Amino acid sequence: MKDLSKYLISFALVCLSNVAISEEIEFSINCKILDQVVLEVQDGKSKKYSGFDEVNVGDSISITFMFTDDLYGSKTYRIMITNSQFPTVFINNSVHPSDFNIIKRGTDSGQFIWHSIINDSSYGGPEDGAYVVSLEDSYMMLEGPLGSMITGRRYFKDDWNFVIKSGVFRNNLLQTLNCMSVPADYNRMLKKVRDYHKANPEKPK
């Protein structure tokens, strides 16, 4: 009986340890639409609109990140990225260490790049398409199917400029955004990624 009690206590401590180690970082970058244009071409004629899907200049949109480490009790992580304009802006990405390519040198912080393959023609694009997520301290690029791309650059402290592009064939959307007070959790997430890849260096291919 004493041995069973010791076993149960040890098991509980291991479970508590796993809970303490695992962590989620979830935050949203909130942006104001400064300007936008929608271009449409059909039957050899071009049209221009000031809005799309009832989203207007001055409205707010968001880009949300969720970082989870020690996923399912294993030493790994996942970053899920969504945006409030989905599916018009088809950014709904999930990246893992297996998608990670390299840390590009050229900046003090390094640039993290994930390259993922989409093997599903239901996205509206060709099979075996790809998307890229690129993050660093003062720059990010989020690329998805259907011509969707979000790029941003820090311009002052925690304030960022963003440009959103989306659309193929008939309709194409272009937006400019001002995103103020980007949460400090963005930098905290990057530190988690940096620490993981320092501890688990990429193997030569």
Asked if the structure places residue 174 within a domain, the reply is yes
Query: What are 152-183's pLDDT values in tens digits?
Result: 999 999 999 999 999 877 789 999 999 999 99
Per the structure, the count of domains in the chain is 1
Query: What are 13-24's pLDDT values in tens digits?
Result: 444 444 445 689
Measured CA to CA, the distance from residue 180 to residue 169 in angstroms comes to 33
Asked if the structure places residue 110 within a domain, the reply is yes
Query: What are 26-73's pLDDT values in tens digits?
Result: 999 999 999 999 998 888 888 888 877 788 999 999 999 999 987 666
Asked if the structure places residue 76 within a domain, the reply is yes
Asked if the structure places residue 152 within a domain, the reply is yes
Contacts of 177 (CB under 8 A, 6+ apart): 31, 32, 33, 34, 61, 152, 161, 162, 163, 164
Omega within 30 of 0 (cis) for the link into 87 = yes
Asked if the structure places residue 8 within a domain, the reply is no
Query: What are 78-132's pLDDT values in tens digits?
Result: 999 999 999 999 999 999 898 887 665 544 467 889 988 765 544 444 444 578 9
Q: How many CB atoms lie within 10 A of CB 135?
A: 23
Q: State the residue range of the domain holding 127.
A: 24-199
Q: Which residue has the tokens 């399912």?
A: 72
- Is there a contact between 183 and 29 (Cβ–Cβ < 8 Å)? yes
CA atoms in the 13 A half-sphere facing the CB of 90: 17
Nearest Cα to 149, choosing from 138, 162, 165?
165
Query: What are 52-61's pLDDT values in tens digits?
Result: 778 899 999 9
Asked if the structure places residue 5 within a domain, the reply is no
Asked if the structure places residue 113 within a domain, the reply is yes
Asked if the structure places residue 148 within a domain, the reply is yes
pTM for the whole structure: 0.80
